[in-house]
Amino acid sequence: MAEVTKETTKEKVKKVADPVASSIDTATQQMIARAQELGIDTVFDRAAAMKPCNIGTQGICCKNCSMGPCRLPLTKDVDPENDTRKGLCGATPNTIAARNFARMVAGGAAAHSDHGRCVAEVFMSVARKESHDYQIKDPLKLLAIAPHLGVETTVEENGEAKDRNLDEIALEVAEKALAEWGKPEGELLYLKRAPELLYEKWKKHGVLPRNIDREIVEIMHRTHMGVDQDYKNIVKQCTRAAIADGWGGSMLATDLQDVLFGTPYPLQSEANLGVLKADHVNVVIHGHEPVLSEMIVAAAQSQEMLDYAKSKGAKGIQLSGICCTANEILQRHGVPLCGTFLQQELAIITGAVDAMVVDIQCIFQNLANVAKCFHTKLITTHPIARMEQSNVTHIEFDEHHAMEDAKRIVKMAIDNFQNRGSEVMIPKQKAVQIAGFGVESIEYHLGGTFRGTFYTLNDNIINGRIRGVAGVVGCNNARTRHNEGHIAIVKELIKNDVIVLTTGCNGIACAMEGLLTPETAGVFCGPGLKEVCETVGIPPVLHLGSCVDNSRILLAATEVVKAGGPWKDISDLPVAGSAPEWMSEKAISIGHYFVSSGVYTVFGVTLPVSGAPIFQKYLFEELEKMYGGKWDLEADPIKHAQKMIAHIDAKRKALGIDKARERQLMDMADRMKLEATA
Ligand code: NFS
């Protein structure tokens, strides 16, 4: 019998997460505890048990060739005046960290843009009338984007301009859009949608993307062993690729999805695990590409499927979503959000999920292990994202028989309803939310009465009721308390009269917290923002959709510039960006296109650049001289928000509108005084 030493006993005690320390959300806390009770490990437990690598965290581990991995000594162990650290080939900390950073941009831009390409391909098959399950739902949006792709919407006949046939326009838009991924010459067509000054900055610094794929490939080439050894030159290429993501792949994804599935307009829904229903068939959709989930929404609403569900003893079919596919179908159909990125395992642990349908991105491989403990059918649907575990079903989606695929999936979930075990525990928590905002709806709500522009928004920014605009976006990260940074930062911003545009998992976190309702304004906002929100009836936090929909934030900022004011470019505006709990490569690409578009952008948690102080300084200070935007890192949520507010105030001052705000605040005080004496 082996002797039980102190060491072996220690090993046997598996480290598990403290539920309360892991999340601010009580539903999440309950489900973490529930998982532990059932002996199922979740990401929270794994984060408690496994510490990240210090060297990788600082961005100075190079594994681009097999002489390594070269793990450079940590910055704190080095004399900054005499930094002689290098890898076997001589690569410096700057080169290594810049290469790693650039590869993250490549990964992120590739993910967004490949999603965009898939949408463009479906759009092409619709334009060719090969996919009968999809139609063009928003022809006005098609007409709006056509000119940006160089497609005429009118033809001249007998000296008169006549409307062009919509099918012809759609086909040409599809061709032009698809060509953006690989055209042999020229530059991306959407770049001209940016404010003129920004376009000129990109041109001057030689970062106009040529086509989407090429910029990503070139990052991979340049960061290969022994190629680009100048961190500034590496950053130049990742700037090009990031712009190709934000103003290319992501923007095309958003636009073509709007044309195909409809442009979002405000609607009411709910959020958090409590949206699951014990007496309904629960289908959870998880991932990023809405092409299949659009069909699942239609299938789940069909009488045929509803009758079938009832025949199996269910009261109906409850669809809900996780991650950005969720945001897509929320925005367009009001399908409720089941949770953020970190709640994906917890949804299955409720025991009430009859099928979880996944497509691409942000999907834990451990879902299959969790699903094994329950009756849940885990269904992969995308050819590029399969799982090796035997309990996973693969139903490959094909746009040519999309409805058939969707019905097969929904039917599988219904058939599985009766296999539900007794281990069902659905948390009660859910919050009401108003989502579905976009450039078009902001224009409607905050535009002028007689002019369809951002006039009213601009006016309120100038008079100081709205101090500034923040884009708060991005993931959850199990290295920090779930949703704590998201919510603290957003609350601090709105308290200080900064209106928030949200996407991705920040949007879901805000929805769960109840921040996406107009009533929030009266509770959490500063007096100026409260007044604006109450007057026009909008929440102070506007949910703009999924992560590819960050392109909507770029276009909203562009509209503010174009609608007129004392500013000429995005970098002049009192705006700031934030990703409080980021974790994915996509977030780095987004951050970098925000920065390259002129936005001061703060990341929370960590940023893998601190091991290379000169490179970090380049991102945090030098880039601003070129594009007007810069990176920053701040893990403390309140300081994080305060840095954004300080930047917004500095921009107001530079624009000469800081006094307006002071006056406006005086007016409020005077008014209160008047009310008190009345
Ligand atoms: Ni964005 Fe969306 Fe969430 Fe992060 Fe993942 S879902 S694309 S990457 S985790 S916000």
Query: Cα of 327 to ligand 1 centre, how many Å?
Result: 10
As a whole number of angstroms, the distance between CA 298 and CA 406 comes to: 8
Fill in the amino acid letter for 66. S
What's this model's pTM, rounded to 2 decimal places?
0.94
Peptide bond connecting 69 to the previous residue in cis, omega within 30 degrees of 0: yes
* Cα-Cα end-to-end distance for the chain: 87
Helix (H) and strand (E) counts in the chain? 30, 18
Query: Cα of 379 to ligand 1 centre, how many Å?
Result: 20
476 CA closest ligand 1 atom index: 9
Asked if residue 70 is part of any domain, the answer here is: no
128-176 confidence digits (pLDDT tens) = 999 889 999 999 999 999 999 999 999 988 888 899 999 999 999 999 9
User: What percent of the chain shows pLDDT beyond 70?
Assistant: 95
Reported as a pLDDT band with limits 50, 70 and 90, residue 621 is very high
- Domain shared by 498 and 536, yes or no: yes
Q: Using CA positions, which residue lies closest to atom 4 of ligand 1?
A: 475
252-306 confidence digits (pLDDT tens) = 999 999 999 999 999 999 999 999 999 999 999 999 999 999 999 999 999 999 9
Contacts of residue 537, defined as CB under 8 A and 6 or more positions apart, other chains included, come to 445, 518
Reported as a pLDDT band with limits 50, 70 and 90, residue 3 is very low
As a whole number of angstroms, the distance between CA 253 and CA 233 comes to: 29
Choose which residue among 325, 341, 344 to substitute to test ligand 1 binding: the one with the highest number of ligand atoms within 8 A of its C-beta.
341
User: SS3 of 585, please?
Assistant: helix
- Domain shared by 452 and 397, yes or no: no
As a whole number of angstroms, the distance between CA 542 and CA 553 comes to: 11
As a whole number of angstroms, the distance between CA 58 and CA 77 comes to: 13
Asked if residue 631 is part of any domain, the answer here is: yes
Rg of the chain, C-alpha, whole Å: 25
Backbone angles phi and psi of 163, in degrees to 5 = -60, 135
How many Cβ atoms sit within 10 Å of the Cβ of residue 463?
16
506 CA closest ligand 1 atom index: 10
Query: Cα of 266 to ligand 1 centre, how many Å?
Result: 22
User: Between the CA atoms of 469, 475, 481 and 482, what dihedral angle is there, to the nearest 10 degrees?
Assistant: 100
Q: What is the pLDDT of residue 440?
A: 86
Asked if residue 53 is part of any domain, the answer here is: no
As a whole number of angstroms, the distance between CA 97 and CA 119 comes to: 33
Yes or no: say if 58 and 610 are a contact pair by the CB < 8 Å rule. yes
Choose which residue among 543, 586, 594 to substitute to test ligand 1 binding: the one with the highest number of ligand atoms within 8 A of its C-beta.
586
112 CA closest ligand 1 atom index: 7
Q: Using CA positions, which residue lies closest to atom 9 of ligand 1?
A: 475
Reported as a pLDDT band with limits 50, 70 and 90, residue 42 is very high
Query: Cα of 149 to ligand 1 centre, how many Å?
Result: 28
508 CA closest ligand 1 atom index: 3
- Domain shared by 544 and 447, yes or no: yes
61-118 confidence digits (pLDDT tens) = 999 999 999 999 998 888 878 899 999 999 999 999 999 999 999 999 999 999 999 9
Contacts of residue 46, defined as CB under 8 A and 6 or more positions apart, other chains included, come to 366, 478
For residue 24 the two structure tokens come to: 């601010």
Q: What is the pLDDT of residue 456?
A: 82
Query: Cα of 410 to ligand 1 centre, how many Å?
Result: 25
Query: Cα of 403 to ligand 1 centre, how many Å?
Result: 26
474 CA closest ligand 1 atom index: 10
Yes or no: say if 143 and 169 are a contact pair by the CB < 8 Å rule. yes
Q: What is the pLDDT of residue 586?
A: 98
Reported as a pLDDT band with limits 50, 70 and 90, residue 48 is very high
Choose which residue among 364, 367, 486, 547 to substitute to test ligand 1 binding: the one with the highest number of ligand atoms within 8 A of its C-beta.
547
Asked if residue 303 is part of any domain, the answer here is: yes
As a whole number of angstroms, the distance between CA 369 and CA 510 comes to: 29
Fill in the amino acid letter for 63. K
Q: Using CA positions, which residue lies closest to atom 2 of ligand 1?
A: 324
Asked if residue 20 is part of any domain, the answer here is: no
111 CA closest ligand 1 atom index: 7
23-37 confidence digits (pLDDT tens) = 999 999 999 999 999
590 CA closest ligand 1 atom index: 1
- Domain shared by 217 and 312, yes or no: no
Query: Cα of 251 to ligand 1 centre, how many Å?
Result: 16
Domain count for the chain = 3
498-508 confidence digits (pLDDT tens) = 999 999 999 99
- Domain shared by 135 and 283, yes or no: no
Give the ranges where 449-582 is alpha helix by DSSP (H): 455-462, 484-495, 504-512, 520-524, 527-536, 550-563
Asked if residue 104 is part of any domain, the answer here is: yes
Q: Which of 192, 226, 261 marks a domain boundary?
A: 261
As a whole number of angstroms, the distance between CA 247 and CA 627 comes to: 15
Nearest-CA neighbor of 284 among 266, 272, 267? 272
323 CA closest ligand 1 atom index: 6
Using alpha carbons, list the distances in angstroms from residue 247 to 118, 251, 323, 480.
17, 5, 22, 31
Q: What is the pLDDT of residue 449?
A: 54
User: SS3 of 578, please?
Assistant: strand
Query: Cα of 506 to ligand 1 centre, how many Å?
Result: 9
Query: Cα of 663 to ligand 1 centre, how many Å?
Result: 40
Nearest-CA neighbor of 489 among 645, 599, 637? 637
Query: Cα of 321 to ligand 1 centre, how many Å?
Result: 13
Q: Which of 361, 392, 419 marks a domain boundary?
A: 419
Yes or no: say if 626 and 205 are a contact pair by the CB < 8 Å rule. yes
State mean pLDDT over 464-487.
97
Choose which residue among 112, 362, 552, 585 to substitute to test ligand 1 binding: the one with the highest number of ligand atoms within 8 A of its C-beta.
362
Backbone angles phi and psi of 217, in degrees to 5 = -60, -40
- Domain shared by 97 and 245, yes or no: yes
Contacts of residue 291, defined as CB under 8 A and 6 or more positions apart, other chains included, come to 118, 119, 122, 397, 399, 402
Q: What is the pLDDT of residue 1?
A: 39
- Domain shared by 477 and 509, yes or no: yes
As a whole number of angstroms, the distance between CA 542 and CA 523 comes to: 16
CATH number of domain containing 145 = 1.20.1270.30
514-561 confidence digits (pLDDT tens) = 999 999 999 999 999 999 999 888 999 999 999 999 999 999 999 999
Q: What is the pLDDT of residue 2?
A: 42
- Domain shared by 581 and 483, yes or no: yes
Is pLDDT above 60 for 11? no
Instruction: Kindly list the protein residues whose Cβ atom lies closer than 6 A to any atom of ligand 1.
Output: 288, 323-324, 341, 362, 474-475, 504-505, 546-547, 584, 586
Q: What is the pLDDT of residue 80?
A: 78
420-471 confidence digits (pLDDT tens) = 988 899 999 999 999 999 998 887 777 655 555 777 888 899 999 999 999 9
548 CA closest ligand 1 atom index: 7
Asked if residue 480 is part of any domain, the answer here is: yes
What does the chain come to in residues? 678
341 CA closest ligand 1 atom index: 9
Asked if residue 634 is part of any domain, the answer here is: yes
Q: Which of 261, 281, 300 marks a domain boundary?
A: 261
As a whole number of angstroms, the distance between CA 164 and CA 312 comes to: 50
Query: Cα of 526 to ligand 1 centre, how many Å?
Result: 29
Yes or no: say if 552 and 544 are a contact pair by the CB < 8 Å rule. yes
As a whole number of angstroms, the distance between CA 314 and CA 282 comes to: 10
324 CA closest ligand 1 atom index: 2
State mean pLDDT over 358-368.
97
340 CA closest ligand 1 atom index: 3
User: SS3 of 303, please?
Assistant: helix
- Domain shared by 463 and 389, yes or no: no
As a whole number of angstroms, the distance between CA 373 and CA 352 comes to: 12
Reported as a pLDDT band with limits 50, 70 and 90, residue 677 is very low
State mean pLDDT over 377-389.
96
State mean pLDDT over 197-219.
98
Choose which residue among 105, 284, 324 to substitute to test ligand 1 binding: the one with the highest number of ligand atoms within 8 A of its C-beta.
324
Is pLDDT above 80 for 511? yes
CB-neighbour burial class of residue 562 (10 A; exposed 0-12, middle 13-18, buried 19+) = middle
- Domain shared by 380 and 319, yes or no: yes
Q: Using CA positions, which residue lies closest to atom 5 of ligand 1?
A: 362
Average pLDDT, whole number, for the chain?
93
Query: Cα of 341 to ligand 1 centre, how many Å?
Result: 7
- Domain shared by 176 and 222, yes or no: yes
Q: Using CA positions, which residue lies closest to atom 7 of ligand 1?
A: 547
**Where in the sequence is the domain holding 413, given as residue range(s)?**
273-419
For residue 350 the two structure tokens come to: 């409720």
- Domain shared by 444 and 395, yes or no: no
CATH number of domain containing 336 = 3.40.50.2030
As a whole number of angstroms, the distance between CA 357 and CA 393 comes to: 10
Residue with tokens 């007016």: 667
CA angle 603, 517, 581 (to 5 degrees): 15
Is pLDDT above 70 for 12? no
Residue with tokens 């999920």: 353
Provide the 8-state DSSP code for 137. Answer: S
Query: Cα of 469 to ligand 1 centre, how many Å?
Result: 21
